[in-house]
Amino acid sequence: MDFDQMGQGEKVSLGGAAITIVAAFLPWITLGALGSVSGIDGDGTFTLIMGAIVAGIVVAREWENVDQLATLALGVLVAGIGLMYVTDPAAGIDTGSEFGNQIVSEVVSPAVGVYLTLIGGVAITAGGALGYFGDDTETQPTQPAD
């Protein structure tokens, strides 16, 4: 697939997929002085897989309505996971006691990977929506002036 021949929706979705894939390997939550946890140590594995699927759709398929809708749906899922961790970075952490969960929620904060996951998910969603609902025409290469 020639990047110059891609439509705007494809380009936006591919960029969002790249951001999502990179974000999975970055810190998602910080645990105060205890350090941080990367995305691939938790739900980042799912976002990594979804980002890879989006990249595969954009590069290997013809960017038809089914591809655009699949991309849009995957983008919503990625953005939802990112938003969940931005608003509640302790999501998925259960210490077994209410007191322990309260302590964890005070110490845990979102890190750069979660924010980039959210941005990547929004970009994937926007690219799919642009392709399906918008005017996602292919970029025409410019002709040299005579």
Per-residue pLDDT, 36 = 83
Q: Is the pTM of this model over 0.75?
A: yes
CA dihedral over 136, 137, 141, 146, signed as positive or negative? negative
Q: What is the largest CA-CA distance in the chain?
A: 75
pLDDT single digits (tens) 24-78: 999 988 887 778 888 888 889 999 999 999 999 999 988 888 999 999 999 999 9
Q: 7 falls in which pLDDT band (50, 70, 90)?
A: confident
* Each residue's pLDDT tens digit, 93-117: 666 777 766 777 677 888 899 999 9
The structural domains of the chain, with segments of one domain joined by +, span 9-133
Q: In 3-state terms, what secondary structure has residue 71?
A: helix
How far apart CA 86 and CA 113 sit, in angstroms, is 10
110 strand-pairing partners = 29
Q: Is 83 a residue whose pLDDT tops 50?
A: yes
